[in-house]
């Protein structure tokens, strides 16, 4: 088998017999998983996809029609930085590790498995969406994200196969056995067991949850374990597109809604719905849900694991190397929100234990900026409404904030008040049923469902009515 042709890579796969043997066992199982759990009824479609065949700028975005089961999932590391040093923690200044340091082996494996588990999970969550895509453009974007999440799985499996021997191979197999939402063998993290039932949920997921991916990958891109750092650096190039699909998708939904609101001169949700668009309060409730569920992915606000991962040089902060401090953080402190008294109070805690919170706050700032860009759509339509990120403590299930009920504005409320207001704050069954009623597949090139505006620019400079997917 010509490995370099079949599996594009820059990790010397053609000369690495033990890696070949591990992948020869795993790859057929991956394809079975894709047939079972990948995009539904799509195996024979020709999809206009980009494929990474190398890490240089010309190589990582090769466009052409591909049947997804024949997609060439590749293995790429960003180019090495000569003499790279561990940038933080107890080993700061020592040469970065090319092989797994024995004492950190279990923690590194856990970090890689946790990241790896999210990749197939999102494909599983999105597997029915192709049946209701609002256009060929959107269908193609969904499939692009799905194959790239598949490649991200390959990226983590490469690390497990190449660096962790037998238990790495077992973990790689288990990544294909867990299932999103399964009662007996679920995915590791909560948000990856939620449903993504409709396209508004999909755009919110790619806006928020892929952005969590960006921040986790950024933290791992600083790792002292060089293969993990270089792998995640390359994954980030793909992640940017996933978030673009989220942000532009939300903006296009909002644009259509604003058009209807202006045509009818109304902000009455029932009238907007009757005209076949999604009212802004429903969009806000979806946003509240996906934002809060994604915030939980960062983990407990105080975590000794986070401190250990940092101090041992395995997982840094977002933009670690650009920060001006000692990169040890031993005496440093950080403000976290505490709810143990029944009210929300800021409390100063050792920063090392609060690194999940540091990353979560970086994520919130980034999310905020994007919502600001989405709001320009409403602004341009001349309407006074605004979408808003909910308060950090709203609807949290993990960490000390899980114990209190907090409104999207940040007010602590009683259980009774929560119950009476929750349908204003989170999507109700009625909201979801309404959005579901709009979901119908549009397959004519250049046409879009009535609840979403066309995109500003086509993919890869193609004409506006380009046939992104051929159904055969």
Which residues would be at the binding site for Fe ion (CB under 5 A)? 119, 149, 152, 210, 213, 239, 242
∠ CA 424-425-428, nearest 5°, is 70
Cα 393 from Cα 459, distance rounded (Å): 38
Nearer to Fe ion, 68 or 337 (CB): 68
Distance from the Cα of residue 19 to its chain's centroid: 28
Query: Please, what is the minimum distance in Å from the beta carbon of residue 246 to Fe ion?
Result: 9
- What is the smallest separation between the CB atom of 164 and Fe ion, expressed in angstroms? 20
Residue nearer to Fe ion on the CB measure, 119 or 138: 119
* CB 290 to Fe ion: min, Å: 14
- Beta carbon of residue 62, minimum distance to Fe ion (angstroms, whole number): 19
Closest separation in Å from C-beta 242 to Fe ion:
4
256-to-129, 164, 244 alpha-carbon distances in Å:
20, 50, 18
Residue 411 backbone phi and psi in degrees, to 5 = -90, 130
Tokens read off for 159 = 């690390």
Rg (CA), the chain: 23
Closer of 119 and 296 to Fe ion (Cβ): 119
Which residue's CB is nearer to Fe ion, number 140 or number 152?
152
- Closest CB 102 distance from Fe ion, rounded Å: 29
Smallest gap, in angstroms, from Cβ of residue 167 to Fe ion?
23
Q: Is 197 exposed, middle or buried (0-12, 13-18, 19+ CB in 10 A)?
A: middle
- Judged by DSSP in three states, 72 sits in coil
For the bound state, the minimum distance from the C-beta of residue 151 to Fe ion, rounded and expressed in Å, comes to 8
Measured CA to CA, the distance from residue 311 to residue 90 in angstroms comes to 6
How many Cβ atoms from other residues are within 10 Å of residue 110's Cβ?
A: 15
Q: Are 41 and 465 in contact (CB under 8 A)?
A: no
Say if CB 12 and CB 75 are below 8 A apart: no
Query: Shortest distance, CB of residue 342 to Fe ion, whole angstroms?
Result: 38
Nearer to Fe ion (CB atom), residue 152 or residue 252: 152
Q: Write the CA distances from 202 to 97, 143, 256, 283, integer angstroms.
A: 38, 12, 17, 12
What tokens does 9 get? 């890579």
Smaller CB distance to Fe ion: residue 216 or 257? 216
**CB closer to Fe ion, 213 vs 313:** 213
The nearer residue to Fe ion, 11 or 123, going by C-beta atoms, is 123
The structure tokens listed for 191 are 């948000």
Tell me which residue of 209, 371, 406, 199 sits closest to 298, measured CA to CA: 209
DSSP state of 208: I
- Closer residue to Fe ion, CB minimum distance, 207 or 310: 207
Overall residue count recorded for the chain in this entry: 472
- H-only helix segments in 381-428: 415-425
């Amino acid at each position: 088998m010509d490995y370099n042709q079949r599996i594009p890579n820059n990790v010397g796969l053609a000369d690495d017999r033990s890696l070949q043997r591990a992948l020869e066992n795993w790859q057929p199982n991956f394809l079975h998983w894709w047939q079972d759990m990948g995009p539904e009824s799509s195996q024979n479609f020709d999809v206009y996809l980009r494929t990474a065949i190398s890490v240089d700028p010309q190589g990582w975005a090769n466009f052409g029609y591909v049947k997804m089961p024949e997609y060439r999932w590749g293995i790429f590391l960003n180019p090495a930085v000569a003499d790279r040093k561990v940038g933080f923690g107890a080993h700061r200044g020592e040469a970065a590790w090319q092989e797994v340091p024995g004492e950190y082996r279990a923690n590194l494996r856990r970090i890689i498995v946790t990241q790896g588990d999210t990749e197939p999970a999102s494909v599983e969550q999105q597997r029915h969406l192709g049946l209701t895509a609002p256009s060929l453009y959107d269908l193609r974007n969904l499939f692009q994200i799905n194959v790239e999440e598949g490649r991200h799985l390959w990226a983590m499996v490469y690390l497990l196969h190449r660096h962790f021997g037998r238990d790495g191979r077992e973990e790689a197999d288990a990544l294909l056995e867990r299932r999103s939402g399964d009662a007996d063998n679920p995915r590791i993290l909560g948000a990856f067991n939620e449903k993504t039932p409709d396209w508004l949920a999909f755009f919110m997921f790619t806006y928020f949850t892929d952005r969590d991916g960006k921040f986790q990958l950024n933290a791992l891109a600083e790792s002292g374990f060089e293969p993990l750092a270089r792998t995640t650096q390359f994954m980030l190039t793909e992640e940017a597109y996933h978030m673009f699909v989220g942000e532009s998708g939300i903006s296009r939904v909002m644009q259509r809604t604003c058009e209807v609101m202006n045509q009818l001169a109304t902000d009455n949700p029932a009238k907007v719905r009757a005209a076949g668009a999604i009212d802004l309060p429903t969009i806000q409730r979806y946003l509240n849900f996906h934002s809060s569920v994604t915030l939980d992915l960062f983990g407990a606000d105080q975590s000794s694991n986070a401190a250990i991962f940092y101090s041992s040089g395995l997982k840094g902060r977002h933009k670690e190397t650009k920060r001006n401090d000692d990169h040890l953080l031993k005496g440093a402190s950080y403000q976290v929100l505490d709810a143990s008294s029944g009210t929300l109070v800021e409390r100063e805690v050792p920063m090392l234990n609060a690194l999940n919170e540091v990353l979560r706050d970086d994520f919130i700032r980034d999310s905020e900026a994007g919502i600001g860009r989405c709001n320009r759509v409403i602004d341009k339509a001349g309407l006074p409404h605004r979408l808003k990120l909910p308060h950090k403590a709203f609807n949290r299930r993990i960490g000390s904030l899980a114990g209190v009920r907090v409104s999207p504005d940040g007010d602590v409320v009683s259980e009774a008040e929560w119950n009476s207001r929750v349908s204003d704050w989170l999507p109700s069954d009625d909201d979801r049923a309404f959005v579901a009623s709009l979901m119908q597949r549009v397959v004519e090139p250049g046409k879009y469902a009535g609840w979403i505006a066309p995109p500003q620019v086509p993919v890869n400079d193609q004409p506006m009515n380009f046939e992104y997917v051929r159904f055969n």
